[in-house]
Structure 1
Amino acid sequence: MFENLSDKLQRSFKTLRGQGTITDENVSDALREIRLALLESDVNLEVVKSLMERIREQAMGARVATALSPSEQIVKIVADELTNVLGKDTARFKFASQPPTVILMAGLQGSGKTTTSGKLAQWLKKGGHRPMLVSVDVYRPAAREQLAIVARATGANLYEGKLDPGTTPGTPEVLRLAKEARRDAANFGCDILIVDTAGRLGIDTALMDEMSELKKLLNPSEILFVADAMTGQDAVNSAKAFNDLLAITGAVLTKMDGDARGGAALSIRQVTGAPIKFLGTGEKPDAFEAFHPDRIVSRIMGMGDIATLLERAEEKLDRGKAETFAKKALSGEGFTLEDFREQLRQIKKMGSMKSILKMLPSVGPFAGMAQAAENVDEGQFTRIESIINSMTNKERHNADLINGSRRKRIAAGSGTSVQEVNNLLRQYGQMSKMFKSMGGGGGMKAQQRMMSQMQGKQKFGR
C-alpha cells in the first residue's frame, strides 16, 4: 500500500539530483514535491506541516555536509523524520504480572477486529503463549459464531459462554461474559485473554460507555485499536476518539495488502501518541506481522525490506530440504523436475511472488523489481505445478523421457497446452545447465562471475 507514496517521493528526490549544493531554492522545490506526495497519500495535514518544518530546518542546516550529494542528504533526512513519525523503536507488548494478561480489541464495525483477534492469538501462540478468545459482541448477528470459526482456524482456545435468552442484549450481559471468560482463562491455564468487543458504524455514546465499563472491569494490559487502513483519515479520526476516552496502548492496521494510500500509518502515531504494533497483510491467519517503523520507512524510501523477507524465509522454509537441495544441485548430481516442484512449493509458503519482489530494494541489481512485481502472473506457478503433477514419477526424475506423445498427455492431464509444457521443459533445461556450471570445479568461478555482474550493475545502475 506504500507504492504510491514511494513512487511520488522518488520523483521528488529527482528534483535535487545533479545539483551541486543545497540552496533555499532547490530545497523548496523538493519539499514542495514531498509535501504534495504526503498529502496525496492521505497523511494528516497537521502531521505534514510539522514534518515539513523539521525536514526544512535540518536540510538547510546540512549545507556543510559535503560527503553526500544534495539528493542523498534530503533522502536521509526524510527517512529519519518518517521513522520519528512512526516511532523509532518497535513497540513492545505488555504482559500482566499476574496472568491472564487481558487484551481489549477496540474499533468500529467492519475494521477487522474479529479476524485480527484470531491472528493475534496465532501470533502469540508462536511465542509460547496460551491465548483464549472471547467475543462480547452480543448485538451483531452471528458475531460470536464468527469468532468461533476463527478460533478453530487458528487452534486457539475459546470461551463461548451462553447468552441469557430472557435478557435484552446490553452492557450487563457483556460484562458478565467478560468476567466469566477471565475466570475460565485462569482456570484452564491460559495466560492471555483476547476480548473481541462490539463495534458500531460510527462513534456513539453507547459504544464508548460500554468500552469504559469493560476497561474498569478487566483492567487490560493492552487496548488495541483495530483500524482499516483503507479508510484513510476516517481511521485516524476514529483512533483519536477511542484514544481520548480509553487511552489506547497501540493500533493494528488491517488490509495493508490493499491499494490504500498509506496515510493512516503515518498519521495515527502522531495524532494519538500510541504506537502501531501490528499489521494485517492478508486474509490468511498467518498474514500478520509486528510493526517495525524502520522497515516500513525502508519500503517507502524504495530500499526494500530484506529483514522481514529473511524472517519470513526463516519461519516458512524447511531448512533441511533447502540444504539438501543446495548440496545436490551444486554437487553436480542433477536437478530434477521433482526438485523443481519442491522449490516452487517452498517459495509459495513465503507468500505471493508479488509480495516477495516488493520487499527487494528498487536500486542496484534489483532495480525494476517493483515494476516486475506488478506484472507477475501468480496463476503461472499453479499451472507449472499442475504440469509437473501430471507427469509420472519416472518423467519427473528423467525429463529426457518426455517425447511428443507424452507432452500431449501431460498437457491434457494438467488442463494446459503443449506449448506451456514445452516452455516449462525449456526453463527447466536452462536451470539444469546453470546448476551444472555452478557444481564441481566450476562452482566458485560461476559464483564469482555472478558477484562481478551484480557489483557492476550496482555501480552503474544509480
Structure 2
Amino acid sequence: MFENLSDRLSQTLRNITGKGRLTEDNIKDTLREVRMALLEADVALPVIKEFINNVKQKSVGLEVSKSLNPGQAFLKIVNAELVSAMGEANESLNLATQKPAVLMMAGLQGAGKTTSVGKLAKFLKEREKKKVLVVSADVYRPAAIKQLETLATDIGVEFFPSTVEQKPVDIASAAISHAKLQFFDVVILDTAGRLHVDNDMMNEIKALHQSVQPVETLFVVDAMTGQDAANTAKAFNEALPLTGVILTKADGDARGGAALSIRSITGKPIKFIGMGEKTDALEPFHPDRIASRILGMGDVLSLIEEVERKVDKDKAMKLANKVKKGKGFDLEDFRDQLAQMRNMGGMMSMMGKLPGMSQLPDNVKDKVNDKQFVQMEAIINSMTQKERTHPDLIKGSRKKRIAAGSGTQIQDVNRLLKQFTQMQKMMKKMSGKGGMSKMMRGMKGMMPPGGFGGPGGPGGMFGR
C-alpha cells in the first residue's frame, strides 16, 4: 500500500534527517522533493499546497532550529501534517441510537459497495458483537442481490430478501420493520451504483435516505482512482449528508492520493479501509498508523492487533507446551506456523507493518514472497504422516516422491528441510533456560547482514 509515495518520501527524508542543522535552502530542496512525491501520488493540488505551506512554516520556525536533532524534528513535522491531512484519529461508526442502527452505502458502480457491506457486517458481528441484517436495494442488478445473499451466508449474518420488481424505499422499510421485530442491532443497506451527474438516480437515493433516515451514510470509493475519489465524494456529499468514507482496494493503490485528499476536500472522515478481497480485509482507518507506514516507520500496533485476532491461541499454547516438554518441533508444527502466517495476510503484509522494511533492497524483498510459503505447505502436504513426525526418514527416494507429489524439484524439498532444521534448532533453544534471548540470537544467525527478511546466503531462512 502506498509503495511509490513511501519510497519517495522515505528517501527524501532520509537525506535530511542526517543534517546537523537545517537552513531555508535545504528545507526548500526537501520540500520540492516532497511536493513532487505528492504530485506523483495523485494527491489533489489544494491539499499539496496546504501541506507544503504548513510544513514550511513549522520547519523554519523555532521548533526545528532549537532541536537537538533538526532532521528528526523535520520528520516529526511531516508525520504530523500527514496525520492532520488524513483526519487526526480514527472516527468509529455512530451506533449509539435506537435499534436498529441503519447504515446506508452509496457510491459509483464497481467501487466495491456490495463486498464492503459483507466485510462491514463481518466486522460488526465479530469485533463489535452486533446482530446484523444486510439487505440489497440494488434493483438494477439482480446479480448484486444474489452476491449479497452469498456473502451473508459465508459470514453468517442474516440476509433480508429483495427482488428487482420492488422499489428501493419499500425494500428498506420492510427490512427495517423486520429488524425491529427480530431485535437486530444493525441494518446495512446496499444501494445501486450511480453517477453524481445522473439526476434521476441521485433523486432516487435522496428519497431513500429521506425515508430510512440512516445514522451513517457511508460513501464507498475505489482508492485506485486517486484524487478523483475525493472529487466524487465531494459531489455525492453535496447531494447526500455523508457521515464517512470507506476506501476500498487500498492494497492495489501504490500512490495514496485518495487517502491524502478525501478528508481535506470533503471534510468527511475515512472510517474504514479495504485491504484485500477476503471478507476480513476491512480495517478501521487510523491516520497516525497510515502516516507511519507511508514514512517507512511501520505499523506495529496494527500488527499486534492482527496477531491477537488471528493467531490460534490454543494451537500456540499446545506448541509451547510441547516444546517445553522437549518433545520437539516437527513438520506438522512447521506447516501450522506457515498456515498461521498465511491467515495473517502473508509475509509481505506482515513485513509492511514492521519499521524499516520499506528500506530493504528490492532484491531482498523479492526473496520473501508468499508463493514460497504456499510451495512449502504443498511439499509438507505431500509427505506421509510418519515423514512429517520423523523428518529424518526423508532420504533419496522419498524426496523424489514428495517432489513429484507437490509439483516441485528435489532441491525445493532439500531447501524446505534445511529451513525446517533451522527452525527446529531455534525452538530447541527456546525451550531451555533464557529461551527467548537464545531464540533471538538464533534468528539473528538466520538473517543476512542488515536485518530481517533477506536472502541470507545459501543457509538463510529465505535463501535460494
Q: Is the 8 A contact 2:427 2:439 kept in 1?
A: no
- The answer on 1:322 being equivalent to 2:316 is yes
Q: Equivalent residues in 2 for 1:348-359 (5 A)?
A: 348-359=342-353
Aligned mates of 1:457, 1:111 — CA distance in 2: 41
Task: Give me the identity figure in percent.
Answer: 49
Where structure 2 has 5 or more consecutive residues not aligned to the other structure, the ranges are: 452-464
| Equivalent residue letter for 1:350 | M
Change (3 A) 1:331 1:243: same
Aligned mates of 1:77, 1:240 — CA distance in 2: 28
Q: Is the 8 A contact 1:254 1:281 kept in 2?
A: yes
SS in 2 for 1:104: strand
Cα distance per residue 1:319-371 (max 9 Å; x no partner): 122133234335543211111111111111111211111111117xx952887
- The answer on 1:427 being equivalent to 2:419 is yes
- The answer on 1:123 being equivalent to 2:117 is no
| Equivalent residue letter for 2:158 | N
TM-score by length of 1: 0.91
Change (3 A) 1:395 1:18: closer
Aligned mates of 1:353, 1:449 — CA distance in 2: 21
How far apart are residue 206 of structure 1 and its match? 1.4
Q: 2:456 maps to what in 1?
A: none
Change (3 A) 1:326 1:68: farther
Q: Equivalent residues in 2 for 1:283-294 (5 A)?
A: 283-294=277-288
Q: 2:461 maps to what in 1?
A: none
| Equivalent residue letter for 1:60 | V
SS in 1 for 2:372: helix
SS in 2 for 1:124: helix
Change (3 A) 1:196 1:384: same
SS in 1 for 2:272: strand
Q: Which moved more, 1:350-359 or 1:61-70?
A: 61-70
The alignment yields a C-alpha RMSD, in angstroms, of 2.4
Q: 1:132 maps to what in 2?
A: 133
Q: 1:254 maps to what in 2?
A: 248
TM-score by length of 2: 0.90
Q: Is the 8 A contact 1:256 1:279 kept in 2?
A: yes
Q: 1:55 maps to what in 2?
A: 55
Correspondence for 2:186 among 183, 192, 202 = 192
Cα distance per residue 1:51-109 (max 9 Å; x no partner): 11111110011366544433211110000011111111210211252111111101011
| Equivalent residue letter for 1:84 | S
Correspondence for 2:435 among 439, 443, 456 = 443
| Equivalent residue letter for 1:412 | A
SS in 2 for 1:277: strand
Correspondence for 2:205 among 187, 203, 211 = 211
Q: Is the 8 A contact 1:90 1:293 kept in 2?
A: yes
Change (3 A) 1:260 1:18: closer
SS in 2 for 1:257: helix
Q: 1:411 maps to what in 2?
A: 403
Cα distance per residue 1:289-343 (max 9 Å; x no partner): 1111111011011111111111111111111221332343355432111111111
| Equivalent residue letter for 1:34 | V
Change (3 A) 1:246 1:50: same
Q: Is the 8 A contact 1:358 1:370 kept in 2?
A: no
Q: 1:33 maps to what in 2?
A: 33
Aligned mates of 1:178, 1:94 — CA distance in 2: 20
Q: Is the 8 A contact 1:330 1:435 kept in 2?
A: no
| Equivalent residue letter for 1:352 | G
Q: Is the 8 A contact 2:41 2:256 kept in 1?
A: yes
Q: Is the 8 A contact 2:429 2:439 kept in 1?
A: no
Q: Is the 8 A contact 1:132 1:193 kept in 2?
A: yes
Cα distance per residue 1:143-165 (max 9 Å; x no partner): 2222212222222211113454x
How far apart are residue 138 of structure 1 and its match? 1.1
SS in 1 for 2:318: helix
Q: Is the 8 A contact 1:226 1:252 kept in 2?
A: yes
How far apart are residue 18 of structure 1 and its match? 4.2
Change (3 A) 1:68 1:44: farther
- Aligned structure 1 segments of 4 or more residues deviating by more than 6 angstroms: 450-454
Aligned mates of 2:30, 2:19 — CA distance in 1: 12
Cα distance per residue 1:228-284 (max 9 Å; x no partner): 001112211110011112121000000011034110001111111110000111111
Count matched residues. 448
Q: Is the 8 A contact 2:22 2:65 kept in 1?
A: no
Where structure 1 has 5 or more consecutive residues not aligned to the other structure, the ranges are: none
Q: 1:153 maps to what in 2?
A: 154
